Amino acid sequence: MRESIQLPIIDLTSPDPISTAGAIRQACVDVGFFYLINHGVDEKLFKEVLEQSKNFFSLPLEDKMKLVRRNHRGYTPLYAEKLDTSSTTQGDSKESFYIGSLEGKSVVSNLNQWPAEGIRLISLIALALDLDEDFFHKAGACDSPSGFLRLLHYPGELQLSEQVVYGASAHSDYGMLTLLATDGVGGLQVCRKKFNRPQIWEDVHHLSGAFIVNIGDMMERWTNCLFRSTLHRVMPTGQERYSMAFFLDPNPDCMVECLKSCCSDSSPPRYPPIRAGEYLEERLKVTYVS
């Protein structure tokens, strides 16, 4: 019998920002994942996007391949990506469609209009790190940030294979912050102690109306490993599964270096400074198997 984990629940409409920031800090230190409720995204909008995602993935492969991925935008077919780059298994049994920012590098920054709820989450994370609530804005992370929406489809029936098949093999996300919405079908698992052997995997259950939020490697690097970028995967369940993940990453020119509130003489910075865009490019290069 597999174990399950009950993730912390963060209410974005809580009137007490200090208490909410404390809860976020605890969640990010303990597990790196939490549920976000009252986030302001209409359930009707989510259902409409989910329906259009299903329509796209139901197209013939030859039509989808006309939109094959370029510059991290477009279609990625089954088995073309392998998130666990240390594994000898085949690519992951999922197909996806990447949608990036509508802005180009030559466009004046700050054209995006950000919902108050999104700005509030970033501000609360700053408070959780004992920083000014506008820290990430002043650091340039939110000045034309690099945001990607990824529509995902995990088929229910898979080709026979002698290897272990993963919907998404074990990985931690590369960037700053990920917000995930699913259709309710299970399969997501987390491993809180990634260096322990054997690894213990725990099921993350669907919470209706909530986003599942997790910290990425860049935020772990920024916080000197105070906040945890947790290993996770998606296992096949025999059912079709649809989800959508929004990856919020800083402006590519933003310098990611250890926060002063996260280091000391006894805990010096573990990583050298690096530009956000350069870091993400290095990580993405080794992800695709074809």
List the CATH number of the domain containing 7. 2.60.120.330
Question: Measuring CA to CA, which residue among 164, 166, 167, 165 is closest to residue 152?
Answer: 167
The yes-or-no verdict on residue 73 having pLDDT over 50 is yes
In a domain, 249, yes or no: yes
Asked whether residue 111 carries a pLDDT value surpassing 50, the answer given is no
State the pLDDT confidence band at 71, using cuts at 50, 70 and 90: confident
Residue 217: inside a domain, yes or no? yes
The verdict on residue 125 lying in a domain is yes
The span from the CA of 211 to the CA of 39, in Å, is 8
Q: Does position 230 have pLDDT exceeding 90, yes or no? A: yes
Whether 186 is in a domain gets the answer yes
d(CA 75, CA 159): 20
Q: What is the mean pLDDT of residues 27-31?
A: 96
Across residues 272-282, what is the average pLDDT? 91
Quickly state the pLDDT bin for 110 (edges 50, 70, 90): very low
pLDDT (0 to 100) of residue 290: 42
Mean pLDDT, rounded, of the chain: 87
The residue written with tokens 């590098």 in the block is 105
Number of domains present in the structure of the chain = 1
What letter would DSSP give residue 91?
Answer: -
Is pLDDT above 90 for 124?
Answer: yes
Least confident of 35-39, 103-107, 153-157, 271-275: 103-107
- Domain membership of residue 290 (yes or no) is no
- CA nearest neighbour of 92 among 228, 241, 192, 227: 241
In the chain, the amino acid numbered 123 is: S
Average pLDDT (248-265) is 90
Give the pLDDT score at 57.
96
Distance in angstroms (rounded) separating the CA atoms of residues 221 and 258: 7
Comparing 102 with 215, the larger pLDDT belongs to 215
Task: Output the pTM of the full model.
Answer: 0.89
pLDDT at 91: 84
- Whether the pLDDT of residue 234 is over 70: the answer is yes
Say if 26 falls within a structural domain.
yes
- Greater confidence (65 vs 281) lies with 65
Q: Residue 272: is it exposed, middle or buried by C-beta count within 10 angstroms (0-12/13-18/19+)?
A: exposed
Burial of 210: CB neighbours in 10 Å, binned 0-12, 13-18, 19+: buried
Query: Does residue 88 register a pLDDT over 70?
Result: no
**pLDDT value of position 106:** 42
Q: By the 8 A CB rule, do 37 and 210 touch?
A: yes
In-domain check, residue 62: yes
30 in a domain, yes or no? yes
What is the average per-residue pLDDT within 178-184? 94
How much is the pLDDT for 196? Answer: 81
Model confidence over 187-218: pLDDT tens digits? 999 999 887 888 899 999 999 999 999 999 99
Beta bridge partners of 5: 204
Q: Residue 261 and residue 128: Cα distance in Å, rounded?
A: 10
Minimum mean pLDDT range among 55-59, 99-103, 265-269, 271-275 = 99-103
For residue 33, give its domain range. 3-285
Range in 96-100, 116-120, 196-200, 257-261 with the lowest mean pLDDT: 116-120
CA distance between the termini of the chain: 36
